[in-house]
Protein backbone atom coordinates (compact mmCIF):
# COMPACT_ATOMS: atom_id res chain seq x y z
CA UNK A 1 0.00 0.00 0.00
CA UNK A 2 2.88 2.34 0.68
CA UNK A 3 4.11 1.80 -2.87
CA UNK A 4 0.76 2.90 -4.33
CA UNK A 5 0.59 6.00 -2.16
CA UNK A 6 4.19 6.84 -3.00
CA UNK A 7 3.57 6.39 -6.72
CA UNK A 8 0.60 8.77 -6.61
CA UNK A 9 2.57 11.61 -5.04
CA UNK A 10 4.57 12.19 -8.24
CA UNK A 11 2.54 10.51 -11.01
CA UNK A 12 4.54 12.03 -13.86
CA UNK A 13 7.66 10.13 -12.88
CA UNK A 14 6.14 6.65 -13.05
CA UNK A 15 3.65 4.74 -15.11
CA UNK A 16 1.71 3.30 -12.16
CA UNK A 17 0.83 6.74 -10.81
CA UNK A 18 -0.35 7.91 -14.23
CA UNK A 19 -2.43 4.76 -14.66
CA UNK A 20 -4.03 5.14 -11.23
CA UNK A 21 -4.97 8.75 -11.91
CA UNK A 22 -6.41 7.80 -15.32
CA UNK A 23 -8.54 5.10 -13.68
CA UNK A 24 -9.73 7.59 -11.04
CA UNK A 25 -10.69 10.06 -13.78
CA UNK A 26 -12.58 7.39 -15.73
CA UNK A 27 -14.41 6.03 -12.68
CA UNK A 28 -15.44 9.43 -11.36
CA UNK A 29 -16.63 10.63 -14.76
CA UNK A 30 -18.45 7.40 -15.49
CA UNK A 31 -20.14 7.43 -12.10
CA UNK A 32 -21.24 11.06 -12.30
CA UNK A 33 -22.50 10.89 -15.89
CA UNK A 34 -24.01 7.43 -15.44
CA UNK A 35 -25.97 8.44 -12.37
CA UNK A 36 -27.13 11.68 -13.95
CA UNK A 37 -28.34 9.82 -17.06
CA UNK A 38 -30.11 7.25 -14.91
CA UNK A 39 -32.20 9.82 -13.07
CA UNK A 40 -33.13 12.03 -16.03
CA UNK A 41 -36.92 11.87 -16.31
CA UNK A 42 -36.91 11.64 -20.14
CA UNK A 43 -36.68 8.22 -21.73
CA UNK A 44 -33.36 8.08 -23.55
CA UNK A 45 -32.55 4.89 -25.48
CA UNK A 46 -29.86 2.64 -24.01
CA UNK A 47 -27.56 3.08 -27.01
CA UNK A 48 -27.60 6.86 -26.80
CA UNK A 49 -26.87 6.70 -23.06
CA UNK A 50 -23.84 4.53 -23.81
CA UNK A 51 -22.64 6.95 -26.47
CA UNK A 52 -22.97 9.90 -24.07
CA UNK A 53 -21.19 7.99 -21.31
CA UNK A 54 -18.38 6.90 -23.63
CA UNK A 55 -17.92 10.42 -24.95
CA UNK A 56 -17.76 11.81 -21.41
CA UNK A 57 -15.15 9.25 -20.34
CA UNK A 58 -13.11 9.90 -23.49
CA UNK A 59 -13.31 13.64 -22.88
CA UNK A 60 -12.19 13.22 -19.28
CA UNK A 61 -9.21 11.14 -20.41
CA UNK A 62 -8.34 13.81 -22.95
CA UNK A 63 -8.46 16.49 -20.23
CA UNK A 64 -6.38 14.22 -17.98
CA UNK A 65 -3.80 13.87 -20.75
CA UNK A 66 -3.64 17.66 -21.21
CA UNK A 67 -3.08 18.15 -17.47
CA UNK A 68 -0.29 15.55 -17.43
CA UNK A 69 1.45 17.24 -20.37
CA UNK A 70 1.49 20.64 -18.61
Model confidence at 15: pLDDT above 80: no
> What distances in angstroms separate CA 35 from CA 6, 24, 44, 63, one per listed residue?
32, 16, 13, 21
Could you report the per-residue pLDDT of 27-56, keeping only the tens digit for each? Answer: 888 898 888 888 877 788 888 888 988 898
pLDDT-based confidence at 70, cuts 50/70/90? low
- Nearest Cα residue to 68 out of 31, 60, 28: 60
Query: In the chain, where are the structural domains located?
Result: 2-69
Could you report the per-residue pLDDT of 50-69, keeping only the tens digit for each? Answer: 898 889 889 988 888 887 76
pTM of the model as a whole: 0.69
Amino acid sequence: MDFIIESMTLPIDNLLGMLLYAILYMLSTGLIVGLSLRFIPNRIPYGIKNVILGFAVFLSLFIWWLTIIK
